[in-house]
Homo-oligomer: A and B are copies of this chain.
Amino acid sequence: MDISGKWFLETVFPDLAVMLKVRKVLYSGHTAYQAVEILESEVFGRSLVLDGKTQSTERDEHIYHEALVHPAMLLHPGPRTIFIGGGGEGGTLREVLAHEGVERVVMLDLDPEVVELCRRYLPQHHQGSFDDPRVELLHQDAREYLAASSETFDVMIMDLVDPIEGGTAYLLYTDEFYRIVKARMSPDSILVTQSGPAGLLSHQECFTTVFNTLTGVFNHTAPTTVHVPAFQTMWGMTLASDSPFPTLSDDQIDGLIAQRIDKTLRFYDSETHRNMFALPKYLRESIRSESRVNRDADPVFMI
């Protein structure tokens, strides 16, 4: 690999960065809310980068989006109304719409320019999902919208940027926000939120505090992890509900997938489900010993 050329560098830890050779800069600019770049590389295909952090890439986004969407959808007895916070690439929306029983999706992404750029440059992500008649796409703050709404949703999916100081989303990971969300849920509704890095050396940045904050609001919570190559590490996603999550056998999970989802999944099935919900010992211990709670007045920021 010739070292000459354009590279995208992204810090993972203060003293560790990833260098990605960029074949093409498809877009680079600022919206009203954030810096946006759409890059193309040999290894990842097209990447969406917001405020210098890789959000998802063409090559591996199906892992992240299948892992975020399908466990919550399948643990619910029959989800028809879905809320998506964030998710501008359309990958989460695409996976939600693959569930035949879904009747209505309300998706709020703060930044219309990001969504427009994704529609234009990331067709493999959204695959036309924004044009599905079941979708109501809005561009406003998810928190304000939910606080003012009286609708309830079966599954609520938070596909947000990380809780970074000065970022657009850190108030969407707090105790106060989760209470607003809960008011829009029925007793058997399920919330799932992306929860930041979950590697040995990074899970205490926000994964454990998101989990701990959710346990203060909901009766039942379940942490999951998944390896996302573009993030160079494990990633955390947390489910929460006031009803207990059903214990499903492998056959039940694979049966529900076959029955409800009208496409072939690449990442998720019953064995993947078992992998995602079984956490390594150190992670369970860290989760148990976490005492911080994200509050509006004192949020925990990712490094």
- Measured CB to CB, the closest approach of chain B to A174, in angstroms, equals 26
In the bound complex, residues from chain B placing their C-beta under 8 Å from that of A266 are 281-282
Q: Mark A36-75, 1 if CB is under 8 A from B, else 0.
A: 0100011100000000100000011001000000000000
Q: Mark A87-110, 1 if CB is under 8 A from B, else 0.
A: 000000000000000000000000
A148 proximal to B (CB < 8 A): no
Given contacts A9-B5, A281-B272, whether A24 and B28 have CB atoms under 8 Å apart is yes
A200 x B63 contact (CB < 8 A): yes
Instruction: State the A residues within 8 Å of B (CB).
Output: 1-11, 13-25, 28, 37, 41-43, 52, 59-60, 63, 199-202, 227, 229, 232-234, 265-269, 271-272, 274-275, 278-282, 284
In the bound complex, residues from chain B placing their C-beta under 8 Å from that of A37 are 6
- 4 further A-B pairs in the complex, CB-CB below 8 A; given A6-B9, A19-B19: A2-B11, A15-B42, A43-B201, A227-B227
In the bound complex, residues from chain B placing their C-beta under 8 Å from that of A232 are 18, 232-233
Partner of A281, one of B13, B201, B267: B267
> Bound complex: CA of A147 vs CA of B10, how far in Å?
48
- Measured CB to CB, the closest approach of chain B to A100, in angstroms, equals 20
Given contacts A6-B6, A60-B200, A227-B227, whether A18 and B18 have CB atoms under 8 Å apart is yes
How many copies the complex holds: the figure is 4
9 contacts between A and B (CB under 8 A): A3-B17, A4-B10, A15-B23, A16-B41, A18-B19, A25-B25, A60-B201, A200-B227, A278-B278
Partner of A52, one of B5, B60, B200, B268: B5
> Bound complex: CA of A9 vs CA of B21, how far in Å?
10
| Chain B: CB-nearest residue to A269 | B281
B60 x A43 contact (CB < 8 A): no
B20 x A11 contact (CB < 8 A): no
> Bound complex: CA of A82 vs CA of B11, how far in Å?
41
List the 4 closest A-B pairs by CB distance, nearest first.
A15-B21, A275-B278, A274-B278, A25-B25
